Amino acid sequence: MDFHTYIQMGGYALHVWGSYALVLLVMGGFTIHAVVKHERLKNSTGAKQ
C-alpha cells in the first residue's frame, strides 16, 4: 500500500484524520498550557521567596 492510498483511509480521510487532529489539539493544548503555566508560576514563586 503506497502512502497516497494510506492517507485516504479508504475514503474516510477527513473523518479519521480530523478526529485524531482534534484529540491531538485538545490533549496537546491542555498539556502544553499546564506545563508552561506550571513552570512560569514555579519560577516566579521561587524568585519571590
Interacting residue ranges for another protein, rule: CB under 8 A: 9-12, 15-16, 18-20, 22-23, 26-27, 30-31, 34-35, 37-38, 41-42, 45
Distance in angstroms (rounded) separating the CA atoms of residues 6 and 45: 49
Q: What is the DSSP letter of 12?
A: T
Residue pointed to by grid coordinates 514555579: 42
In the complex, the smallest distance separating the C-beta of residue 3 from another protein, rounded to whole angstroms, is 12
In the complex, the smallest distance separating the C-beta of residue 10 from another protein, rounded to whole angstroms, is 4
The amino acid that residue 13 corresponds to is A
Nearer to another protein, 2 or 26 (CB): 26
Read off the C-alpha cell for 25. Answer: 489539539
